[in-house]
Chains A and B, each alone.
Chain A
Amino acid sequence: MGGHFSSLLATDVVQGERIPVTVLTGFLGSGKTTMLNRLLKLPDLHGTAVIVNEYGAVGIDHDLIAQTSDDIVLLANGCMCCAVRGDLAEALQRIAERQDTPVRQVLIETSGLADPGPVLRTLMADPGIQSRFELAGVVCTVDSVLGMATLDRYPESVRQVAVADSLFLSKTDLLEDQSLLSPLVQRLRDVNAVAQLHAERDRQPQLLYEHIRVGGNRQTTPPEALFYRTPFIAGGRDTDTAPRHRDGISSFVLVRDVPLPRDAFAAWLDMVIAMRGEDLLRVKGLVQQAEDPDRPLLIHGVQHLFSPPELLPAWPSADRRTRIVFITRGVDAEAMGETLDVLVRRHMRRPLSTF
């Protein structure tokens, strides 16, 4: 068919070991800096690189710093922090080329006002970056006290929540009554039902550390952590989940029991990317291909850019259904499922791609 996804499938690139990159986002004042500093206090961060916008803005605790040179700050616990004053791609290349401290994982902290989309696209679209780094996930901090008002007033904060794999609720200790969290949790679930939610303050630094390491340790990652929030698709459902709509964002999981012909799936995704790429905030999932049902195809996209799909050696759990999470700006779940079924029919009629 010749679209974006088909061309990625056709390149057949075998990805070597890549450095997992986690993006830390969250609105101004939502607790990113505090979270980062708590992470940086963990005892052993050797092999971890942190990219921040500006040292001044982030305010890494001086007590933690062991050495500084140019744009790099070395912490006593082995972590390397790098300031981005311009090009993120350049900063990543500089990190990758360092001989003295091999980097095993990277955390990028975005500006509080930033839409994380461009950072994610840099990770996926730049060939030089893509070959050495992979997106491990997006973590978003949300202020437990002011989060609701922020979501009401700032669309950027909604997008930050929408694209996240994990949501870290900050300042829960400031709440007089923990039941006050419920409306915020419901709101977050409505915007992004598939993200993992972490409210326990004391465990958050360790959870963040585990998160940033997960991309390099996929084989041992529990299946429920591999892009799926279990409750959203639990219950043995074999149909698409009911979509959730909130703040202009709709999220849903497309589920298929029957393995999908590779060409049909690629043609459908090409079409969806071409038609609604702008509105695909995040797409991630496992696809059971008819031609190779024992090995799931891992897909991951942000708007109209997708990473080269990766054929995993085995399914991470007994559930071998195709499951694709869509976080979108107003894309209709039923329309997606219906058009996929038509495309599957097309390729059953024509075994060879004849677009």
Chain B
Amino acid sequence: MADDLAQRAERMLSLWSDLSMRHVALGGACACGTGGVSLRLEDFELDIVGYLEDTGLRCDVAEVAGFFTALQQAGPQDQPLRSLLHDLEEGRMPEAVARWLLTRIERTLTSFAELHGGGRA
């Protein structure tokens, strides 16, 4: 069971490593005259973790809410998504938290990948 979680975490880590390097050219393919502005999906790392945190703090699973409360108290850190995925990969989380978190991360990262790659990611 733990192996399964570790493998899923590894896949997500690999997906995030790939996604975070990608650029989105805003208006680059547009005839409206806007161009030259781009962003990296890496810029969304804090937002993704913040989004997971908001959802986790509101969820019914006490263990998950407790985990995110502790995470908030620990203060900000660099590359928080990568850090969470490493913890998941190494089995450093309670199983209930790991299952909840992985499911959410999979949904979010797959969504970004789907949009960026048109389902080909």
**Which residues in B have their C-beta under 8 angstroms from that of A275?**
24, 115-116, 118
**Which residues in A have their C-beta under 8 angstroms from that of B29?**
274, 277-278, 304
State the main secondary structure of chain A at its contact with B: helix
Choose the segment among A13-21, A61-69, A217-225, A341-349 that binds chain B (4+ C-beta atoms closer than 8 Å).
Answer: A341-349
Within 221-276 of A, Cβ neighbours of B (below 8 Å) are at 270-276
Cβ of A330 under 8 Å from chain B: yes
Q: Is the beta-carbon distance between B44 and A7 smaller than 8 angstroms?
A: no
* Known A3-B27, A4-B26, A277-B29; contact A332-B114, beta-carbon cutoff 8 A: yes
Cβ of A305 under 8 Å from chain B: yes
Q: Is the beta-carbon distance between A349 and B112 smaller than 8 angstroms?
A: no
Q: Is the beta-carbon distance between A2 and B119 smaller than 8 angstroms?
A: no
Give bound CA distance, A330 to B43, whole Å: 26
Residues 16-42 of chain B: 1 if any A CB is under 8 Å from the residue's CB, otherwise 0? 000000001111111110100101000
**Which residues in B have their C-beta under 8 angstroms from that of A270?**
26-27
Q: With CB as the reference atom, state the residue of chain A lying closest to B43.
A: A355
What distance in Å separates the Cβ of A301 from its nearest Cβ neighbour in chain B?
11
Q: Is the beta-carbon distance between A338 and B111 smaller than 8 angstroms?
A: yes
What distance in Å separates the Cβ of A21 from its nearest Cβ neighbour in chain B?
19
Within 296-355 of A, Cβ neighbours of B (below 8 Å) are at 304-305, 330-332, 334-336, 338-339, 341-343, 345-346, 349, 355
**Which residues in A have their C-beta under 8 angstroms from that of B32?**
4, 7-8, 125, 305
Residues 85-121 of chain B: 1 if any A CB is under 8 Å from the residue's CB, otherwise 0? 0000000000000000000000110111011101100
Q: How many A-B residue pairs have CB under 8 A?
A: 95
Q: Is the beta-carbon distance between A274 and B27 smaller than 8 angstroms?
A: yes
* Known A342-B48, A355-B39; contact A332-B26, beta-carbon cutoff 8 A: no
Within 34-70 of B, Cβ neighbours of A (below 8 Å) are at 34, 37, 39, 43-44, 46-48, 50-51, 54
**Which residues in A have their C-beta under 8 angstroms from that of B39?**
1, 271, 355
Q: Is the beta-carbon distance between B51 and A342 smaller than 8 angstroms?
A: yes
**Which residues in B have their C-beta under 8 angstroms from that of A339?**
111-112, 115
Q: Is the beta-carbon distance between B27 and A349 smaller than 8 angstroms?
A: no
Q: Is the beta-carbon distance between B26 and A342 smaller than 8 angstroms?
A: no
Q: With CB as the reference atom, state the residue of chain A lying closest to B41.
A: A271
**Which residues in B have their C-beta under 8 angstroms from that of A276?**
115, 118
Give bound CA distance, A342 to B110, whole Å: 13
**Which residues in B have their C-beta under 8 angstroms from that of A4?**
26-27, 30, 32, 34
Give bound CA distance, A76 to B29, whole Å: 46
* Known A274-B25, A345-B54, A346-B47; contact A3-B34, beta-carbon cutoff 8 A: yes
Q: Is the beta-carbon distance between A272 and B115 smaller than 8 angstroms?
A: yes
**Which of B34, B54, B107 sits near A7, CB closer than 8 Å?**
B34
Give bound CA distance, A316 to B20, whole Å: 41
Give bound CA distance, A228 to B5, whole Å: 43
Q: With CB as the reference atom, state the residue of chain A lying closest to B36.
A: A2
Q: Is the beta-carbon distance between B28 and A274 smaller than 8 angstroms?
A: yes
Q: Is the beta-carbon distance between B26 and A338 smaller than 8 angstroms?
A: no
Give bound CA distance, A278 to B115, whole Å: 12
**Which of B26, B54, B107 sits near A2, CB closer than 8 Å?**
B26
Cβ of A279 under 8 Å from chain B: yes
Q: Is the beta-carbon distance between A338 and B108 smaller than 8 angstroms?
A: yes
**Which residues in B have their C-beta under 8 angstroms from that of A272?**
115
Provide 21 A-B residue pairs closer than 8 Å at the C-beta atoms, listed in order of the A residue: A3-B27, A4-B26, A7-B27, A270-B26, A271-B26, A271-B39, A273-B30, A274-B27, A276-B118, A277-B29, A277-B30, A278-B29, A279-B118, A332-B115, A334-B107, A335-B111, A335-B115, A339-B115, A342-B44, A342-B48, A355-B43
Q: B residues engaging A (CB < 8 A)?
A: 24-32, 34, 37, 39, 43-44, 46-48, 50-51, 54, 107-108, 110-112, 114-116, 118-119
Q: A residues engaging B (CB < 8 A)?
A: 1-4, 7-8, 125, 270-279, 304-305, 330-332, 334-336, 338-339, 341-343, 345-346, 349, 355
